[in-house]
Structure formats: C-alpha cells, structure tokens
C-alpha cells in the first residue's frame, strides 16, 4: 500500500513539474497519442482535439464516367493494402474512373489531411490577395503580425518565403521527438504563441529551401489577421463551398474556440479532397467561375529553390509523368497529372514500410500506375 501511494505521489509531482515547465504540451501529447496506442499523429485523431465544424454550404456531386473504368493492378494493390490505405479515388477528365475504400472508411468518412493543408493555406492566401485583404505575396510577414520579432541583421521573411519554405526559421522538422518544436506546434494549447516564438535566422532569408511546418503556421496567422476571421470559416465560404464539399469537414484547433493548426489537420472526405485537386487541375476554375488566379496556379506548381517544392505543392521529379501534389504525413495525397488529365487522391495510415526512407514511396507508385493506365488507353 505504501508503495502504491509512493508511485501516485511521484506521478503527481511529475505532472506538476511538467505543467510548470516549457513542456506542458507533453501532457496533451501523451493523452492524445501515446495513451491511444500511437507514437505520432494519426489519421483519425480529430476525436482527441478540439475542432471547428465546417458545415456543407453548396454541395456538388462528382460526375462518374460511364465509358472509363480503371482498376489497380497487383503491383500497386499489394503495397496499398500493406500500408493501410483507407480510400483512393481517381478522376480523369473531371469524372470518377476509380474509387475504392478499405475497412470502415467510406464516402462519408473524414480523415486528417496532415500537411496537405499547407497547399490549402496557400490557396486561401492567394484568394486573400485577389480580394484585396493582402497587398502582395512579397509583403513582409510583420505587416500582418507586427509583434513577430525578427533578430537583428536578419531579413524579414515575406509571405512568399513562408509559402515556399525559404524563410529559414530556427526550426527542425521532426515527428518522432516529443521535445521538438514540431510536437509543441501540434499539442500546444496556444499555437499562435508557439509559432511566434520561432524566429528566422537559421540561414539567410530566401537563400535556400527547408521544409518547416512553422512557416505555414506563421502564414496562417498572417492570413487570419488580414481577413479578420478564422481561416477555417474563410476556407469554408470562399473555397470549400465553391468546389462543392459534400460532407461536413472540420479543422483541428489548439483549444476550444481557439486557433487552427493551419500547417496540418483539415479533416475531409476523399471526394472533397479530390475536388481541391480538380480546382487546381482546372487552372483555378470551377466550371466557368475563376476561384484562384490561373497565373498563380501555373507557377505555384513549379519548384522554387527546390526541384521538389513550389508554393506549398510537392513535385516528384524522378518519375516520367509531369506532376504536382498536395501531400501530407503518412501518404495523404492529391496528385495532379496534367498530361493525363488525371487526379489521384489517397488517404491512409502509412506512406511506406519505413517512415523516413519511404515518405514519398506510395506517391511514386501511384504515378507509375497512372503511367501504366495511360499506356493502355
């Protein structure tokens, strides 16, 4: 009995120490991840985070092709299933030509976009530029977040630097280390304060590329300040309604009524994710209505200081087919293949058999499948 009391006292003291330390967020992390049987963020973790609910406004059904029906071959099916794919949909010429779901995922299920949301934040920022809320992509971030401290001698990053991951923030992307700032961004109850505490200065602003989720979080804060409302509400009205989301979506918040985790964590259905890809594939148009400037779409998909990354869109340069994509942790993908008039959307639990080495593997395999489909048409 004394031993049990001693253990309880030790646990209580440890929790108090953590609560009073810079690592307070670890309590939330342990509760939402480790105690749920995971070691990192996971596909359906919205149940453990506060959310902003995004109701359907103007639903629009996807057309289903009556002349083309594709099937995935064994070369792709085996790895898809081995790494926990939950849903996959293929559009060609804006029509559904393949759709399949695994386990209990279906057309109404929503799942975490992870970093695919970065591309969404960039699209929303472009809308804000078009609507006059933001003067230019080349505006300094401090025009919108004046309290953001820039170290002496460091050039202030612009919104473009944030979108293209060239801001050079003092930040290391790491999804496995609970003491890393990446974990703090995810589990903190004040993501704004966390992001504003990450200054530039790792390298000369704009001189090189380094993937940093904190860049997109700063861009999200600047966007929210510029539009004067929550980013998710703006997204639902100005983007999701226009592409025709059919299933209510949500966005992770840092706390109840708080701020969006803009660098990740839009929860939506596979078909609705695919509609975002269709918007970009159609040069920013929905039917005959321009939502995103086509000129911006054309250069957002081109590498900027990196052959792999443009304005928050990823590129696979080591495959034959021209491509660019929304891409998130564990292989959340919306791949646009312009030469095939094709969009491939995939959601799932892993991107490959090994976390680091196979981060892009399923994306490459999906593109190779598209190449085989194209060769046989």
CA 48 to chain centre: 18
pLDDT by residue (tens digit) across 138-159?
A: 999 999 999 999 999 999 999 9
Measured between its terminal Cα atoms, the distance across the chain in Å is 73
The residue-averaged pLDDT of 238-255 equals: 98
What gap in Å lies between CA 311 and CA 299, rounded to an integer?
8
Tell me 146's DSSP state: T
Q: Is 91 exposed, middle or buried (0-12, 13-18, 19+ CB in 10 A)?
A: buried
Task: Determine the 3-state secondary structure of 44 from DSSP.
Answer: coil
**What share of the chain has pLDDT > 70, as a percent?**
90
The residue-averaged pLDDT of 243-267 equals: 98
Would you state the pLDDT for residue 9?
46
Average pLDDT over the chain, rounded to an integer: 91
pLDDT band at 34 (very low <50, low <70, confident <90, very high): low
pLDDT by residue (tens digit) across 58-82?
A: 999 999 999 889 999 998 998 899 9
- Phi, psi for residue 156 in degrees, rounded to 5: -65, 125
**Residue 174 CB contacts under 8 Å (≥ 6 apart), including other chains:** 180, 182, 183
Question: 0.85 exceeded by the pTM?
Answer: yes
What gap in Å lies between CA 283 and CA 293, rounded to an integer?
8
The first and second tokens of residue 167, run together, are 């801001």
Q: How many CB atoms lie within 10 A of CB 34?
A: 13
What angle separates helix 116-130 from helix 270-281, to the nearest 10 degrees? 50
């Amino acid at each position: 009995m004394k031993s049990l009391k001693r253990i309880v006292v030790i646990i209580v003291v440890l929790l108090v120490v953590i609560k009073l330390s810079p690592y307070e967020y670890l309590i939330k992390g342990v509760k939402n991840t480790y105690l749920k049987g995971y070691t990192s963020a996971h596909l359906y973790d919205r149940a453990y985070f506060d959310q902003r609910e995004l109701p359907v406004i103007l639903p629009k059904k996807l057309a289903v092709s009556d002349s083309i029906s594709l099937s995935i071959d064994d070369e792709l099916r085996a790895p898809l299933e081995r790494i926990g794919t939950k849903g996959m949909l293929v559009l060609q010429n804006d029509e559904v030509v393949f759709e399949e779901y695994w386990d209990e995922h279906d057309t109404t299920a929503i799942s975490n976009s992870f970093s695919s949301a970065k591309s969404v934040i960039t699209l929303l920022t472009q809308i804000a530029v078009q609507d006059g809320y933001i003067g230019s992509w080349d505006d300094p971030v401090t025009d919108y977040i004046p309290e953001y401290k820039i170290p002496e001698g460091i050039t202030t990053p612009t919104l473009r630097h944030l979108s293209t991951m060239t801001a050079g923030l003092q930040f290391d992307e790491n999804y496995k280390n609970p003491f890393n700032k990446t974990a703090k961004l995810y589990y903190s109850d004040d993501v704004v304060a966390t992001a504003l505490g990450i200054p530039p200065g790792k390298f000369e602003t704009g001189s090189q590329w380094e993937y940093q989720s904190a860049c997109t979080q700063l861009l999200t804060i600047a966007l929210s300040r510029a539009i004067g409302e929550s980013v998710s509400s703006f997204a639902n009205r100005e983007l999701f309604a226009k592409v025709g989301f059919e299933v209510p979506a949500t966005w992770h918040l840092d706390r109840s009524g708080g701020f969006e985790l803009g660098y990740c964590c839009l929860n939506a259905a596979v078909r609705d994710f695919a509609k975002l890809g269709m918007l970009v594939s159609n040069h920013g148009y929905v039917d005959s209505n321009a939502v995103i400037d086509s000129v911006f779409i054309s250069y957002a998909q081109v590498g900027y200081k990196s052959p792999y990354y443009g304005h928050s869109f990823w590129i696979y340069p080591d495959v034959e087919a021209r491509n660019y994509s929304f891409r998130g942790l564990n292989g959340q993908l919306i791949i646009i293949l312009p030469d095939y008039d094709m969009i491939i959307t995939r959601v799932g639990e892993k991107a490959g058999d090994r976390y680091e080495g196979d981060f892009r593997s399923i994306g490459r395999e999906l593109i190779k499948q598209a190449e085989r489909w194209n060769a046989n048409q």
